[in-house]
Amino acid sequence: MTVDLTGKEIVIIGMARSGMAVAEFLWKRGARVTLSDNRPETALESEIRLLNERNIEYEAGGHSPELLGMADLIVVSPGVPLSLPVLRQAAQAGKTLISEIELASRYLRGRVIAITGTNGKTTTTTLVGEILRTAGFPAQVGGNIGTPLISLVESSTEDTWSVVELSSFQLEAVPTFRPDIAVLLNITPDHLDRYASFEAYAQAKLNILENQVNSDFAVLNYEDPSLQKTAGSVHSQVFWFSGSREVTRGTYALGGQIVFQSGQGAERVMTCNEVPLKGRHNIENVAAAITAARLAGIPSSTIAEGVRNFKAVEHRLEPVADISGVHFFNDSKATNVDATIKALEAFESGVILILGGRDKGGDFKLLSRLLQERTKTVVLLGEASDKIRTQLEGTVPMTQASSMDNAVKVAFQQAAPGNTVLLAPACASFDMFQNYEHRGREFKAAVGRLQVTGNR
């Protein structure tokens, strides 16, 4: 549903990565673009420099109702909640508000595999992209991972498969976005600092299915009760995946074998032991990726080859180093309680867990059983330390750290040969770091320094 953008007055809310990518896209197509951001100009120097080079208008320090009132279209960046009063007023005044994903989908050529879920998105998205490339399919990967979808429009062709990771934020304001294959990995509490309720958060995730039709496919987690309930209202063809139970259509792991069931017959894809990723949750991620790849028409033998050659994604249960028999793993992307649960489930015992950061409204009490079963101690870091300590009091020994360097040193001092130091914070990173990638890199750098000195 492409539209001639020449001369259109378009306002972009938010000057982060996707907002700037949208501005570039629209500017090249002759639109009259203005960007608006809450941050002061001093925090936007590099963005403003780029906008000035293109003579693109902008406002900083807030979103003026007058600017939005003149817009033919408003594109809202994922980091900006639609609940902002100024955006609600614009919507009530009849203005059209859409997301970057919605805009991109109107111009993107080829077919789309879209992947969302509370946890596992990046691993599954990257794996699907690798499998497609292994099969020789023209594939590009983007969205919430790496490149904004709008930046993939120009490189797309009618033969292209675009594999897109989507957050709940990106799935707001998507009135027509319709993936050929939609993968919904799981829905567990997250981002409750932004959403009024878990139900509101879940609905944002479910928007990935909203516009699908009978010729499309929905790949859903058979182990997620909320998705079991949802399946009856889905308009597309539902295929399931499971890490522990047989499904009639989809992919499941049972008895050490991973099997794809088309509904007309079963085919063995590979063994669980061939999966190079640690943790039971990654068997589910692989099963989801296999299902999407089979629905895209890739043979099981090629899929198995792509999985076997796949390496762990950075910051997702990433092996970092072994020092004096102590294993270090970086799972900085574990930014919610459920992700930390999945990380802990990947280890039997002897874990020293680095936990904390900026609270997202999580219930840390849900960690209690696994902490008692599998951890020796918890090293607390960041703003949420007091809340975590209060909710987990009496569960396991806890130590406070002042910095990532300090946390790694304290964890190493608590560890014995055969133990694991695991960064799986269950919190956002923005109290001390730019993002979860920055936090993960700082963890790896601290481990590297420890590797040099070897000091306990």
Catalytic-labelled residue, pool 63, 119, 121, 409: 121
- Tell me whether residue 144 is one of the annotated catalytic residues: yes
The DSSP symbol for 371 reads H
Nearest to 33 by CA among 44, 42, 25: 25
Catalytic residue among 119, 144, 186, 419: 144
Q: In sequence order, which ranges of 29-82 are alpha helices (DSSP H)?
A: 45-53, 65-69
Torsion, CA 28, CA 156, CA 166, CA 243, rounded to 10: -170
List the 420-423 sheet strands across, edge first.
318-323, 326-330, 420-423, 351-355, 375-380, 398-400
Output the six-digit token pair for 394. 């009496």
CA distance 268 to 453: 48
Of the residues 63, 119, 186, 191, only one is catalytic, namely: 191
Tell me the sheet residues that pair with 318: 330
425, 334 in Cβ contact below 8 A?
yes
- The HSE-up count of residue 386 (CA atoms within 13 Å, CB side) is 1
Alpha-carbon gap, residue 56 to 43, rounded angstroms: 18
Q: Return phi, psi of residue 180, to 5°.
A: -65, -40
| Catalytic residue check, 281 | no
Active-site residue flag, 55: no
Residues designated catalytic: 121, 144, 191
